Amino acid sequence: MSLTHLSNMTSRRSAGDSQSLDGTWRAILDPYGIGHAALVAGYQNDAKPEHPGHRVEYDFDTSREIEVPGDWNTQYPELLYFEGSVWYRRIITVDADEDPSRRSFIHFGAANHTTRVYLDGEELATHVGGFGDFAVEVTGRLAAGDHSLVVMVNNRRERDRIPAMMSDWWNFGGLTRSVELVTTPASFLRDAWLTMAPDGRIVGGVTLDGTDAETVTVSLPDTDLSIAVDASPGEEARFVLADADAAQVAERWNPGAPVLHNVEYRATSDTVVDQVGFRTVRVDGTTIVVNDSPTFLKGISIHGEGPSGGRRAHGDADAKELLGWAVDLGANFVRLAHYQHDEAMVREADRRGLLAWTELPVYWGIDFGNEATLANGLDQADELVIRDRSRASVILWSAANETMASEDRNTFLTSIVKRFRELDSTRLVTAALFTMPSDDSQVHVEDELGEVIDVIGINQYFGWYYGSRESIADARYTSKFTKPIVFSEMGGGAKFGHHGSDEQIWTEEFQQAIYEQQIEMVKNQTECGGLSPWILKDFRTPMRTLPGIQDGYNRKGLVSEEGERKLAFGTLQSFYNSL
């Protein structure tokens, strides 16, 4: 059976339309990848001995317990570095036979990286990609009684995967976001979205999943705006809810002053509700313009790691705490790196009035010449945009981070950018480019990718990986494209509580001194549209091994892995508050 996107259906529907499958599951490790084999009776079958002499070489009922959502790495110490397959099992109890007028789906918020889904021993679908949501239809398979849902998740690094063999973050495995059983009418709204175009029109689209054409009414109950849209099954019907003048009746969402409007999408048998903000975003030369106001992005980068415990982040509580720190910093902007974050993050950004950059995990070592890799990259682009194109906070889709220029890379990323714009032409497109300064501290970006993106992201580490601290303020970054430059990464590392001279590396004073000079450098730029220093908090990575200092963490955070603020937090906070 095929996979589908439910486009935020779980968060939009009433509680009666979904059943949480979160909680305690059972799990079997499969380091050799033999779980499918008849030799062990196939883990997917959740087999039980049929008589005392029947050989079955596994037992989910007595296997280890594991919490969903969550990564397996931090639930058991021996699994911290585990890469391979883990088989999850959950018993779904159904009280009554299915209503023939409704359909059923298992919806996964995310599972890293490749997932195979089985119900009562039958394989239903495979999903590839560790950060996007997906759903598997189980209509007609849930008669009254108990059903065995088995999910194999494999997080092994592979050359043709996205991300590929190496990344400077932890390869968390497992069912890392919520799992739900969602029911819908036989004909339902699979996708429904609304946003504001750069010219001020309110635009959107709806996609029916069913057999007959229907008229879908889209309305904003707190205004007079409404439209009837003719929709055919399986085909997106796009519409203009309001032209630029009529859209003035819907108050704008602004950075720091968010306004969210209730939206209803009403088909014959299905109604979906959402809360959506309306704002415009465009570029004017080297300036980013939000709601016709030049807007400097006072940002911070964030990894999808929880506020404490070094685990994969998930859910509302994590989003509120992480973005609360960003607000305390004085930020109006967050870079959600280097992959699609939990939906709770962008919805919380909507509520807090934070602008956001969202990103694909197209990172180091991607097999750019492989057609299958590109196909998966396009699938992950679909997941990113389809889920979040109603979110006012999201102003930038990022195609990649620190990729080396080549013909294959340019072709690959141009295809990704094209897909972004096909799905959503209302936002800006960017990528974080890898640059190195010349001896005279001048960087002039000529990367051909700059031609196809709207905003040029630059990762630079003057004073940390290269260059003297004294030369940072004199560095100048320009490009041949007359487009805004955002310093998507900058900074240096320090261990919280490690103090000393500002000449002593790994001290908070050393990190603070780098930030002081970087801020002076930013003030002197002529093409800079903002910055998102690296990074809000320390995060796990197997690349960082220095004993007593790193211990498996990247220490460039402004707060520690447990949320303790370093000196540089206050330095950046003072700069942002001064603006």
Write the pLDDT tens digit of every residue in 59-79: 999 999 999 999 999 999 999
Are 168 and 554 in contact by the 8 Å Cβ rule? The answer is yes
The owner of tokens 């570095």 is 81
Helix and strand numbers, DSSP H then E, in the chain: 7, 33
Assigned token pair, 376: 């998966």
Write out pLDDT tens, residues 385-403.
Answer: 999 999 999 999 999 999 9
Per-residue pLDDT at 440: 65
Confidence of residue 3 (pLDDT cuts 50, 70, 90): low
Average pLDDT, the chain: 95
Assigned token pair, 77: 């110490």
Query: pLDDT > 70: what percent of the chain?
Result: 97
Per-residue pLDDT at 436: 78
Per-residue pLDDT at 2: 63
Least confident of 94-103, 299-308, 406-415: 94-103
Per-residue pLDDT at 11: 46
The owner of tokens 């189980």 is 138
Domains and CATH numbers, the chain: 3-185 (2.60.120.260), 199-279 (2.60.40), 283-578 (3.20.20.80)
Confidence of residue 39 (pLDDT cuts 50, 70, 90): confident
Which has more pLDDT, 579 or 17?
579
Per-residue pLDDT at 438: 67
> Does the pTM of the predicted model rise above 0.85?
yes
Write out pLDDT tens, residues 420-439.
Answer: 999 999 999 999 998 877 66
Answer whether residue 517 shows pLDDT above 70: yes
CA angle 291, 296, 299 (to 5 degrees): 115
Long-range contacts of 493-500 (CB under 8 A, 24+ apart): 493/464, 493/550, 493/554, 493/555, 493/556, 494/555, 494/566, 494/567, 494/568, 495/549, 495/550, 495/555, 495/560, 496/538, 496/559, 496/560, 496/564, 496/566, 497/564, 498/549
Answer whether residue 8 shows pLDDT above 60: no
Per-residue pLDDT at 198: 97
Which has more pLDDT, 167 or 1?
167
> Which strand ranges, in their side-by-side order, compose the sheet holding 237-242?
188-196, 202-209, 237-242
Per-residue pLDDT at 14: 53
Q: Which residues contact 53 (CB under 8 A, 6 or more apart)?
A: none
Q: Which ranges of 140-220 does DSSP label H, i.e. alpha helix? A: none
Residue 394: Cβ within 10 Å count: 25
E-strand ranges in 197-280 read: 202-209, 214-219, 226-231, 237-242, 261-266, 271-276
The mean per-residue pLDDT over the stretch 277-301 comes to 98
Per-residue pLDDT at 17: 86
Q: Which residues contact 518 (CB under 8 A, 6 or more apart)?
A: 462, 463, 472, 490, 491, 533
Residue 310: Cβ within 10 Å count: 20
User: What's the start-to-end Cα distance of the chain, in Å?
Assistant: 53
CA–CA distance, 40 with 26 (Å, rounded to integer) = 17
Residue 234: Cβ within 10 Å count: 11
